[in-house]
Amino acid sequence: MSPTNNFHLLHKTVFKNILLFLIILIFNNFLAQTAPKNLSQKKVITDTLKVKDTLVVKEQLEDIVQSKAENIRNDLPKKMTYLNRKAQVKYQNLQIDADYISIDWKKGLVFARGELDSLGKIKTPVITTQAGKKYETDQFSYNLKTKQAIAFNARTEESEGVIVAQKTKKYNDSIFFMRQGKYTTDDYFIKKKDTAADYYLLAPNIKLIKGKQSSQVITGPIQLYIEQVPTPLILPFAILPFSDKRSAGILIPSFGERQDVGFFLNGLGYYLPIGDHFDLKILADLYTKGSYNFKPELNYKKNYRYSGNFSADIGTTIRGIKGLDDYSKSGTYRISWRHQQDTKANPMLTFSASVDIVSTKFYNNTVNNNYIFNQNVLNTQQNSTISIVKRFLKLPITITGTASYSQNFSTGLTDIRLPQMNVAINQFYLLKSKTGVRQGLLENITVNTGLNINNYVSAPQSELFTKAMFDKLQTGIKNNIQLATNTTVAKYFTFSLSANIDNALTTKTLTKYYNPITNLVENNLNRKIAGYSSFSAGASLQTTLYGQKNFAKGSTIQAIRHVITPSLSFSYSPDFSEPKYGYYKNYYNNRGELTPYSIFDGGIIGAPNSGLVESVGFSIGNNIEMKVKSKTDSTGTKKVKIFENLNISGNYNFAAEKYKWSVFSISGQSSFFNNKLNLNTSLTLEPYEILFEPGKDEGIRTENFGHFSLQGFNIQLSYPLSSEIFGKKKDYAKLYKTKGEIRNENYYFDEQNYAHFDQPWTLNINANYAYTRNLTKFGQKVASIGLDGSIKLTPYWNITGSTNYDVVSKQLAYTRIGFSRDQRSFTINFNWVPFGQYKVYDFFIGIKADILKDAVKYKDRSFTQPNAPF
């Protein structure tokens, strides 16, 4: 064959091969674009599901599958498409982004895998986006026909947290099943600032149910892990609601030890919302020595109307060992009700309640440690009040109805005032002004009046609501009228007049007599309606004097200013102990002396004054300030208070038979060091000589005037200190270039890699000294120093504490120390009372996330919190 023919044959063969190659490429490209479209048909009614790692189905597609990648390969015989590097598949509202994706057109399955590193581990996950939510997985299988999926190491973000599960099965758009799932709300882990969560809840099996507006997770047994360490906190199941609405959940307790009752779990319980307006908390405190406490609490709220709660503490305190002398068992109770009306609900009618009914030894035998930490165990009295106030739009009248209940734990007596009503008429002017501007004494006369109706009884708890109590019940009615007026005299003086009139009725009167058998003065209440009328009047003259001393311009002290407010007053009151009134009687005491008393003493309406009062009183108020140079003030000077108020007062009764002068009182108030150090002081001086007989501590007051002696003195100091007072806050960003990462992002580091951060602290100092002498030789002293403060050792460690030291007895009183650690997603709290009647420590770990405040309660999310929906 000639070379020419060979050339033509070769050319023809090459041309056929090229043409065949082009036809294959075009067909493959056409197949890759149209194969999903050809598979898109009407949905077949029958479908089959095998719940295994591989999903086998018989169903057609409903939409077009779009795909792209840097490298695409189609296998026609196997009906497979392979996408490599920056692969993406879109189907309806689903988008899959991965390093590798394969599509099985026969089965309708999509398989995706993340990018691998040199060791074969996933370094870039598969990103699946559906309905606006993103999911991260190592591997992902999706059935285009049934829309079911299987994912490995899937990362699912829900509400405030994220779930990471070894294996996740999606059955439909609403239901997901997970195996070995970890749930956490660690913000650092969610934002991928840290590769390990500081805490998580681990459950072998999880069911995630998605709704249009809310979702929830239901688990089997679930365990809390902190810093990868398992804790003993294991729950048989959990329900995590991903919703803004309140939902039921277990309340996590604190635990610790108390010396007298043993180890404890404090506040273990359950939270249950009831409708839109109620929620219920059922709590219990359990102790290893047998003590227990049951604490139900019902909260209620109606927006813009009212809110409140009912609560109770019902407990049994067991101390010592049964059969031994130190064994004791006692029951205690406390019932509480709080109600508050919204101010906008009804301004004309308001109702409020603050009720606390407790057993006599409740605070001495409490098994609720909260009362120890907040110092309620020091209470000696418990008060309860219910009140309703009615106002009128067109009438100047306010009607107040109250019921009160007061328990005194020292005396064991209970005071009940039920019901009590007060009708008050708003202040008004007696006369109209002729010119529109009130002038003179007559036009400035004001009237205040009201009527008070009261029922009162004081009895021990054993007599409450018995015949003995009702026999002691007193009813009283009292009307008070106050008249007052004032005018300016000689431009610089204010002249005032006042009068007070009381009219009262009561159902009980008093009879006193000395019983020589018991050697006691005994009181008898008589069932008799009696009343009295009393009157008093007064006048005063007051002015203000100003004085100022200026110094040279160059001196440190620029000026001293002294303001004096002198006042002179006169008081008059008749002697209502005269026999003509019948308000006072006499009895003979143990020494045979005739002793006067009022038949209204200790009664509900009070008693009229005894003895004629025609006294002149004086008062001198002082305010002293100085102006000094200041480099920090923009004006160049600043005011320094020497005495905000220094007052001296006393009176002289012309009508008194003896001791015409009263004791002299001096009181002062001031603040120093930029108003930080507050000082309050007072003292009383006895103007008459007191004589003491040999061997006797109690003296006798004579009429020898001019021998002044100290009868009482009190001084109180308070000084709040803080780190801000001693220096400005440092700008660490300018001082140091290096900032920490992950956990240490609040730290700045110097060149030697030492950390720098703020350490704010506070220290409140309170000191009190009181001396009371009266007629005794030595008197009594009370002195104490109180400290309470806090310091942040690091941005995450905080220490708080408070203590009181009795200077007289040289003993520490109530002392409390607290530690708290911020662990990003949760906090650790430790409180300790090291000595005293109750030695106790309390340890608590709580998760911060709002979502877990409902499921595994850290804070009691109830209507008292503003974010609770209603």
pLDDT in tens, 240-268: 777 667 777 778 788 899 988 899 998 88
Say whether pLDDT at 3 is over 60. Answer: no
What tens digit of pLDDT does each residue of 313-326 get?
999 999 888 888 88
Quote the pLDDT of residue 497. 96
Residue type, 130: Q
> What residue type is 464 in one-letter code?
L
DSSP for residue 730 = P
Give per-residue pLDDT as tens, 724-739. Answer: 877 777 888 788 888 8
Check pLDDT > 90 for residue 14. no
- Quote the CA–CA distance of 680 and 700 in Å, as a whole number: 31
Q: Is the dihedral of CA 21, 23, 24, 26 positive or negative?
A: positive
Nearest CA to 184 among 234, 227, 121? 227
Range with the poorest average pLDDT among 283-287, 570-574, 589-593: 589-593
**pLDDT at 251 (0 to 100):** 81
pLDDT in tens, 397-418: 999 999 999 998 888 899 999 8
Q: Are 597 and 607 in contact (CB under 8 A)?
A: no
Check pLDDT > 50 for residue 39: no
Look up residue 748 and give its amino acid.
Y
pLDDT tier at 850, thresholds 50, 70, 90? low
Which residue has 């923009």 as its token pair?
634
Cβ–Cβ < 8 Å for 717, 679? yes
Confidence of residue 844 (pLDDT cuts 50, 70, 90): confident
* pLDDT of 554 strictly over 60: yes
pLDDT at 10 over 50: no
Percent of the chain predicted with pLDDT > 70: 90
∠ Cα 107 113 119 (to 5°): 140
Tens digits of residue pLDDT in 52-93 = 333 333 446 778 888 899 999 998 888 899 999 999 999 888
pLDDT digit string, tens, across residues 118-157: 888 888 999 998 877 788 899 999 988 888 899 999 888 8
204 upstream amide cis, omega within 30 of 0? no
Q: Is the dihedral of CA 195, 199, 205, 208 positive or negative?
A: negative
Compute the distance between CA of residue 105 and CA of residue 82 in angstroms, rounded to an integer: 11
CA gap 411, 268 in Å, rounded: 35
Query: What's the confidence (pLDDT) of residue 591?
Result: 85
pTM: 0.72
Do the strands 249-251 and 856-857 form a parallel or antiparallel pair, or are they unpaired? parallel
The pLDDT mean for the chain works out to 84
**According to DSSP H, which parts of 780-866 are helical?**
852-855
In Å, how far from its chain's centre is CA 106? 64
Residues 386, 284: Cα–Cα separation, whole Å: 29
Q: Return the bridge partners of 585, or none.
A: 597
Q: What is the pLDDT of residue 858?
A: 42
Give the sign of the dihedral formed by CA 239, CA 243, CA 247, CA 250. Answer: positive
pLDDT given for residue 501 in this prediction = 96
13 or 578: which carries more pLDDT confidence?
A: 578
Sort residue 663 into left (φ over 0), alpha (ψ -120 to 50) or beta.
beta
- How far is the C-alpha of 180 from the C-alpha of 165, rounded, in Å? 6
Lowest mean pLDDT among 209-223, 339-353, 638-652, 732-746: 732-746
Q: Which tops the pLDDT comparison, 846 or 229?
A: 229
Strand partners, 625: 561, 641
Q: Over the range 512-546, which residues count as b (16 or more CB within 10 Å of their CB) and which as e?
A: bebeeeeeeeeeebeeeebebebbbbbebebbeee
Give pLDDT, residue 837.
Answer: 79
HEC secondary structure over 792-809:
ECCCCEEEEEEEEEECCC
pLDDT tens track for 427-445:
999 888 888 788 888 989 9
* Radius of gyration (C-alpha) of the chain in whole angstroms: 42
Interval 330-336 mean pLDDT: 92
For residue 816, give both structure tokens.
């409390």
Q: What is the pLDDT of residue 742?
A: 67
Q: How far is 184 from 494, CA to CA, in rounded Å?
A: 72
State how far the Cα of 547 lies from the Cα of 549, in Å rounded to an integer: 7
Give alpha helix (H) positions in 392-494: 440-443, 467-472
Displacement of CA 14 from its chain's centroid (Å): 90
The 8-class DSSP code of residue 490 comes to T
Range of weakest confidence among 50-64, 516-530, 559-573, 589-603: 50-64
Whole-angstrom distance, CA of residue 177 vs CA of residue 208: 6
367, 571, 597, 819 from 613: Cα distances, Å = 55, 7, 18, 60
User: Which of 213, 233, 211 has its CA nearest to residue 223?
Assistant: 233
Helices (H), 300-458: 370-373, 440-443
Given pLDDT bands bounded at 50, 70 and 90, which one contains residue 852?
A: low
Q: Which residue has the tokens 């009370």?
A: 782
Looking at the chain, how many residues does it have? 870
Find where tokens 């101390």 sit.
Answer: 319
pLDDT at residue 863 in the model: 39
Q: In angstroms, rounded to a whole number, what is the distance separating the alpha carbons of residues 676 and 167?
A: 62
**DSSP annotation of 325:** T
Longest dimension (CA), the chain: 167
Instruction: Identify the pLDDT of residue 244.
Output: 66
Residues 6+ apart with CB under 8 A from 358: 332, 333, 334, 335, 382, 407
Residue with the bigger pLDDT between 205 and 758: it is: 205
Q: Distance between CA 456 and CA 464 in Å, rounded?
A: 13
Whole-angstrom distance, CA of residue 417 vs CA of residue 473: 9
Cβ pair 270, 248 in contact under 8 A: yes
Classified as helix, coil or strand, 855 is helix
Over residues 746-770, the mean pLDDT reads 89
- What is the rounded distance in angstroms from the CA atom of residue 546 to the CA atom of residue 339? 51
Which pLDDT belongs to residue 1? 44
Three-state secondary structure call for residue 866: coil
At residue 187, φ and ψ (nearest 5 deg) are -65, -35
